[in-house]
Structure 1
Amino acid sequence: MQQVAIITGAGNGIGAAAAKLLAQHGVRVAVLDVHEEKAQLVAQAISQAGGQALSIRCDVGQRAQVEEAIQLVESHFGDITILVNNAGVGGPFHRVDEVSDEEWDWIMNTNLKSVFLFCRNLLPKMKERNYGRIVNIASIQGLLGSAHSSTYVASKHGMIGYTKTIAAEWGEHGITCNAICPGYVDTAMGVRPEDISDYMNRVIAKSPVKRVAQPVEIAQMIDHLVGPHSGYINGTSITMDGGISSHIGITDQLS
């Protein structure tokens, strides 16, 4: 079976690394991002390396754009067998009482509603073929609390709960759904150096492995979970944080 993947937020960071790695392994990849130029660059790099890729501009929180993107991928590559819900935004650091309606909607639409929109459209089609692989990129903040990040934390907790529910509902149809919970990753959103002075040094100091993750490391786990031999991994949340959450809370780490 020819594998076809949609990866959201694939214009850079984890999404771009996953798109390139899956393409290396023969997967036809749809690179979705709200920033069209970034998606195009990733797709071009994949094509130049001998892979097959399609770039699509998509605001993943908008139903019409999600449905149009799915139709484009199906017409270009055929049936979609892999979905990686990677698109996400962190938003500014705010206390709960400082969060505006607009900020809440923006983060929730991008991080959580997008997962619902893509899954609602693709799950029935995956059921028809009795096969599907879904990977949701959550966060260790989906397992813990974190001061001044309430909306982001809520969205990632919701993503993990949604992951478990999909696994329970659709596993009998050959569909698996898992979440990956990265800690600090070497991406613009992952380390947010503009928000807190000396942020990176403080993160590294509290990490048992004394570094942040590289996007390709998360991509390698995605590649494993969407592979043909991962059918018994279902409904789990895999923590990839270098051991930070094993001994210290997120809030403590920022102090």
Structure 2
Amino acid sequence: MTYISAQFNLEHKVAIITGSSKGIGKAIAKGLAQNGAQVVISSRNQEACDAVVKEFTDEGLKAIGIACHIGDEQQRQNLIAQTVEAFGRIDILVNNAAINPTYGPIENVDPSIFDKIMDINVKAPWALSNLVLPHLQKHKNGSIINIASVEALTPGFGLGIYSTSKAAILMLTKNQAKEWGQHGIKVNAICPGLIKTKFSAALWQNEKMLNKLEKTIPSGRMGMPEEMVGLACLLASDAGNYMTGGVYTADGGYMIAG
């Protein structure tokens, strides 16, 4: 094994990826597993988790599925406990699960929806990271990757509260990196642009809107979930050990389009 491949090698590492039954979460989970990690597939639905686990294990990858509604404290605790019971350790946490149940002006958002977005998109990653912290401290070489969005970096239209929640994730990332660096833990954020997932279907299924959006992206197209994998593998592995507190865009150049 060359020095470079050894740096990216995740054998004997255990990774939890929330919201990983589909989309970006599933793609990242597969990438980590292909680099040797034992991965925990997690989403609200156990059957959806099991289907992904079967797909992965059929390919010779190491994976288990643990259903978890990340907005529920008991289920968060169960996710961590079952992971440790199965694998004996936790090395990597990818906070990917998020929601956006509303589209429109910020003044029209119902307060209950605001609370729900903040609970899932901000409080849950904070709480899960806190639960994982003691396990990452043990080996002095842990990684937390928070999946944010380019919406955290520049205001769009109709996604104001979602954008606000993702901006909060960036500051959470920086504070976690600053406070937990002493424990050998690195924390970084990835800001995807427009990626072809079920989550963003309302944007790319509208051909007129998609064409308009793609004209604003230097690469001229939307991204695919698999195009988030390389960056995630870098940040999860020893190759990224001196990278912490960073905010990394993977957006086809959207943020420089002006």
TM superposition score category, shorter chain reference:
over 0.9
Deviation at 1:197, TM superposition (A): 5.8
Q: Which amino acid aligns with 2:54?
A: Q
In structure 2, runs of 5+ residues without a counterpart are 1-10
Greater Cα shift, 187-196 or 198-207: 187-196
Query: Does 2:95 align with 1:85?
Result: yes
Check whether the contact 2:142–2:185 (CA below 8 A) recurs between aligned residues: yes
Q: Flag as ranges the 4+ runs of structure 1 deviating above 4 A.
A: 194-197
Check whether the contact 2:204–2:210 (CA below 8 A) recurs between aligned residues: no
Q: In structure 1, what is the equivalent of residue 247 of structure 2?
A: 237
Q: In structure 2, what is the equivalent of residue 216 of structure 1?
A: 226
Q: In structure 2, what is the equivalent of residue 10 of structure 1?
A: 20
Three-state SS of the structure 2 residue aligned to 1:198 is helix
Check whether the contact 1:140–1:183 (CA below 8 A) recurs between aligned residues: yes
Percent identity of paired positions between Structure 1 and Structure 2: 33
Structure 2 CA distance for aligned equivalents of residues 194 and 205 of structure 1: 13
Q: In structure 2, what is the equivalent of residue 165 of structure 1?
A: 175
Three-state SS of the structure 1 residue aligned to 2:213 is helix
Structure 2 CA distance for aligned equivalents of residues 154 and 203 of structure 1: 21
Deviation at 1:192, TM superposition (A): 2.0
Structure 2 CA distance for aligned equivalents of residues 226 and 210 of structure 1: 29
Deviations 1:124-178 (A, max 9, x none): 2212321200101000111111232121011100000000000000112110000
Check whether the contact 2:217–2:257 (CA below 8 A) recurs between aligned residues: no
Q: 1:33 aligns with which of 26, 43, 51?
A: 43
Deviation at 1:224, TM superposition (A): 1.1
Q: In structure 1, what is the equivalent of residue 104 of structure 2?
A: 94
Query: Does 2:252 align with 1:246?
Result: no
In structure 1, runs of 5+ residues without a counterpart are 249-255
Structure 1 CA distance for aligned equivalents of residues 194 and 54 of structure 2: 28
Check whether the contact 1:24–1:51 (CA below 8 A) recurs between aligned residues: yes
Distance change >3 Å, CA 24–CA 195, structure 1 → 2: closer
Deviations 1:15-34 (A, max 9, x none): 11111111111100000101
